[in-house]
Amino acid sequence: MEVRRIETAPGLVFDASVAGKDDDTLVLMLHGFGVSRHFWKAQVPVMGRAGYFAVAPNQRGYSAGARPDPTHLESYRFDRLTGDALDIVSALGHGDKRFHLVGHDWGASLAWAIAFRHPEKLRSLTILSRPHPMSFARALAMPDGDQKRRSGHHQAFLEPDAVPKLLADDCAWLRKRHAKEGVPKDAIDLHLSVLGSAPAMEAALAWYRARGERMPLGPIKVPTLYIWGDADDTVGRAAAEGTGEFIDAPYRFEVLPGVGHYAADQRPARVNELLLDHLGRYAA
C-alpha cells in the first residue's frame, strides 16, 4: 500500500491510500466522520492483492491539500462532496470505466447518492452502517424516537463551540466513543492524526453545517451489499432492516453480531471476506 496525492483541481489535492495496478478495476472507498482513509487500512492492500485498484482518500477537509475555508459552507455542500468522489475517479484515469464503490457513515451517504444518480458508472455498491436515506428518514420520524435519539449528536455538531469541545483533553469525546464502539486504540490514534486539529475538525463539521435538507433518493439499481453491526449506537434496527425496500437490484444484508459503528476497524477480516465475495459477483 502506498500513499498517493491525487489532484482533481487547483487547490484540491487528496491524500489517498492506494494498492494494486492502476489499470485494474477501481474500488473507491469513502470514509465517514470521526475516521479517515485509515479506516480502510485492512481492506486496501487485500483488494490490491486480489487484482483490484483500491483507493481510499482522505476526503474534502480531511486532506490538508483539499481543505477550503470551512466558514464558506458553500465549499462543503453535498454536491461538492459527491463531485469530489467522481473527480477522483476521473483523475485516476477511470472516468470512462465502471467501478466498485464502498462507503461508511458520511462516505456511505455520498455513495448512496452517487449510486442513485449515476448507476451506469458502478459495478457494485457496498455500504457500511449508514442505511438508505429514505429508510433512515422513516426511522427518524417513528414515534418511538429511537433513531432520533441515536442521531442526537448531529445537532451538537452544529453548535458554535463544537470544535473546542471535540478537541478538548486530546479529543476525549471521540476517543471514548470510538473505544466504546470497539475501535482499537492504534486505529483511533491513526484517525486523530488526520482529524485531531482545529483546521481539520472545523472542516469535518462543515459537512454537517452545509448539509441542509436531505434530497430524496429513489430505489438503488446497483447490486448492493449492506453491512450493519447490531451494536451500532447510531443506526437502529428499523432503519437498517428497512433499507432493502429501497433496493431495486440484487441485495445482500449482512448483520454482524456485537459489532458497532466501525466494522472495518472492528472486524476487518470479515469485512474483507464479504467485500471480496460481493465484488467478485459483479466483476463483469
Q: pLDDT digit string (tens) for 113-154?
A: 999 999 999 999 999 999 999 999 999 889 998 888 888 777
Please, which pLDDT band fits residue 60 given cuts at 50, 70 and 90? very high
pLDDT value for 155: 81
CATH 2.60.40.10 matches 2-281:
no
Considering the chain, what is the average pLDDT of its residues? 95
The CA distance from 248 to 235, in Å, is: 22
pLDDT digits (tens, 9 = 90+) for 9-38: 999 999 999 999 999 999 999 999 999 999
Written as nine digits, the cell of 245 is 425496500
pTM (predicted TM-score): 0.96
Arithmetic mean of pLDDT, 232-253: 96
Percent of all residues in the chain with a pLDDT value above 90, rounded to a whole number: 89
Nearest in space to 104 (alpha carbons), one of 38, 25, 24, 186? 38
Lowest-confidence pick of 2-6, 230-234, 273-277 = 230-234
Grid cell listed for 200: 481539520
Identify the bridge partners of residue 21 per DSSP, sorted by sequence position.
none
Task: Tell me the pLDDT band of 175, cut-offs 50, 70 and 90.
Answer: very high
Cell of 26: 477501481
Could you tell me the end-to-end alpha-carbon distance of the chain, in angstroms, rounded to an integer? 25
Q: What is the DSSP letter of 220?
A: B
Q: What is the DSSP string of 81-126?
A: HHHHHHHHHHHTT-TTS-EEEEEETHHHHHHHHHHHH-GGGEEEEE
